[in-house]
Amino acid sequence: MSEQRDGGWSDTKPTGPEQQALADKVKGDVEKAANRIFSEYKAVLYRFQVVQGMNYIIKVHVEAPTYVHVKLFQDLNGGVKYEGFQDHKTEEDPIIIF
């Protein structure tokens, strides 16, 4: 498995409480963009990029069998900004940079 390079995106990794907390901060933005409320919202995998802060793309399980890929930015002060999402993903879909 390759390591993350400065400015490059990491390999896909399993999420932990930190990534779930980040995903939770933008849940309302994702629901608004998707035009629906999610009965489930569990972060499962993620990729990140170190910039002047951190870019993240997090795979979130929203309802069987659907996933969404959520893009967000965390600034150096810990602020989180919603950047977009991709809908209708499956468990098998890789996290592709968008």
- Return mean pLDDT, the chain: 94
How does pLDDT run across 9-21, given as a tens digit for each residue? 999 999 999 999 9
pLDDT at 6: 57
Amino acid occupying residue 30:
V
Residue 76: predicted pLDDT = 96
pTM of the full predicted structure?
0.92
pLDDT band at residue 5 under the 50/70/90 scheme: low
For the chain, domains (ranges, CATH) are 13-89 (3.10.450)
Q: Which residue has the tokens 């997090």?
A: 58
Q: Name the residue among 69, 64, 63 with its Cα closest to residue 19.
A: 69
What digits encode the pLDDT tens for the residues 46-65? 999 999 999 999 999 998 89
